[in-house]
A and B are shown apart, each in its own frame.
Chain A
Amino acid sequence: MDNDKKTTVLTLTDEEIVNPGNRACSGCGLGIVYRTALKALGKDTVLAVPPSCLTVLQGLYPVASTKLPCVNVTFASTAAAATGVRAALRATGRDHLNVVAFAGDGGTGDIGIQALSGACERGEDIIYICYDNEAYMNTGVQRSGTTPKGVMTTTTPIKGKLQHKKDVPSIIAAHGIDYVATASAAYPLDLYDKVKKAASMKGGTRYIHVHTPCPSGWGFAPQYTVHIGKLGVTTGLFDLYEIVKGEFSLTGESAKRVGKERTPVEEYFKTQRRFRSLSQELTDEMQGMIDAKWANYTA
């Protein structure tokens, strides 16, 4: 992405496609992600959305907060629904529109992974954006496949989650699709450029996985959404990268960290109540995993 012209806060469009007064919680990371991604997609876009916090953000009948056509679909079917939208747009001569699936981590990596894998294997002409808030937030913070190890959720209430986070973007990348990227709610400009790039690569499947802090689910005061999202990246826990036709590269803040010191991951854990029961042993284990991962990154 370094060869492309990067968007700055001054060049970022001030057109808003999401209306204020929506039902998202105060300080919602998804609010930043959704608002920014839709700026990049523009109005020639059709959305497919499964049940998730986004359903709530979008509003209840008969008023919608989003100025885009959107089909709400069943939990497991988002990528297949996006496939259907694309097929119908081709059949009705409107193939120029973006077709975008927008789902949470459960709707993507757990219940929705079969339809998503099918769509990726077929190379469907869709953009799939997963906002990963690392648990089932809309139903009240139950563990998901992408909940990190040790995290307290309402279904891991005493011992914390016993398994590590599922690496969904790597699973998707293994399908060999044209574009896979990660992004963070704390770096909206990086996210914006990735969504723009995805939109420009029409023809194949494009996937963007966005780390999305959640004040109520993670246990922090709402003003820290961006601060904590940044810590997720500067500690090296969640990396910003893209895989363009198989070529991996770190981007933005993660690219800047290669060969430099990273914030200890403990600093990140300390900011959130969901990590309150994390043992020193597990903290060390996680730090070790991050260090091992970063040992493989070269400038």
Chain B
Amino acid sequence: MSKEEFCSMISVSEPGPGDGGNTGSWRVVRPVIDLEKCIPAKTGKPSCFNCWLYCPDAVVTKTLPPTIDYTYCKGCGICAEECPAGAITMVDEASFTKEEK
């Protein structure tokens, strides 16, 4: 056997997204950003971004306006809790239609 034929199976993982699957399906409440209240969205200037800073899952963007990747957002609500402008509301997932999901 050649050197390459030996050791053909080992547990060596490649980086990729969503090993936990689409973790957005864990969510029972959804963070929704009110762009009228969101400081960077409202002022059009990069500022605040607490939602991006504190997100444990890196699903919020540091953009104007900030966006949330609902495919992976687990709905923890830290962004809503830490938003100084009260711009993020946690909305019951049941209130969204299938398309919206």
Q: Which residues of A contact B (CB under 8 A)?
A: 9-10, 12, 14, 16, 18-32, 35, 59-68, 188-189, 215, 221-227
Residue of A nearest to B23 (CB): A21
Q: How far is the CB of A224 from chain B (nearest CB, A)?
A: 7
Q: How far is the CA of A225 from the CA of B54 in the complex (A)?
A: 9
Are A67 and B77 neighbours in the complex by a CB distance under 8 Å? no
List 29 A-B pairs, Cβ < 8 Å. A9-B50, A10-B46, A12-B53, A19-B16, A19-B17, A20-B17, A20-B71, A21-B71, A21-B72, A22-B57, A24-B56, A26-B26, A26-B27, A27-B74, A28-B76, A29-B56, A31-B55, A35-B58, A59-B19, A62-B13, A63-B16, A64-B19, A65-B19, A66-B15, A221-B77, A225-B54, A225-B56, A225-B76, A226-B78
Q: How far is the CA of A30 from the CA of B82 in the complex (A)?
A: 17
Q: How far is the CA of A262 from the CA of B55 in the complex (A)?
A: 27
Q: How many inter-chain residue pairs (CB < 8 Å) link A and B?
A: 129
B47 within 8 A of A: yes
Residue of A nearest to B31 (CB): A223
Q: Which residues of B contact A (CB under 8 A)?
A: 11-23, 26-27, 46-50, 52-59, 61-62, 69, 71-78, 80-82, 90
Are A20 and B82 neighbours in the complex by a CB distance under 8 Å? no
Centre residue among A21, A64, A189 by max chain B CB count within 10 A:
A21
A-side contacts of B27, CB under 8 Å = 26
Q: How far is the CB of B70 from chain A (nearest CB, A)?
A: 11
Are B77 and A63 neighbours in the complex by a CB distance under 8 Å? no
Q: How far is the CB of A217 from chain B (nearest CB, A)?
A: 15
Report which of A21, A65, A223 forms a contact with B76, defined as CB distance below 8 A: A223
Q: How far is the CA of A111 from the CA of B47 in the complex (A)?
A: 43
B-side contacts of A64, CB under 8 Å = 13-16, 19
Residue of B nearest to A223 (CB): B77
A-side contacts of B59, CB under 8 Å = 20
Residue of B nearest to A33 (CB): B56
Residue of B nearest to A28 (CB): B56
Centre residue among B13, B59, B61, B82 by max chain A CB count within 10 A:
B13
Residue of A nearest to B24 (CB): A21
Q: How far is the CB of B60 from chain A (nearest CB, A)?
A: 10
Q: How far is the CA of A32 from the CA of B52 in the complex (A)?
A: 10
Are B76 and A189 neighbours in the complex by a CB distance under 8 Å? no
Are B19 and A63 neighbours in the complex by a CB distance under 8 Å? yes
Q: How far is the CA of A25 from the CA of B21 in the complex (A)?
A: 13
Are A223 and B14 neighbours in the complex by a CB distance under 8 Å? no
A-side contacts of B20, CB under 8 Å = 21-23, 59, 65
Are A65 and B15 neighbours in the complex by a CB distance under 8 Å? yes
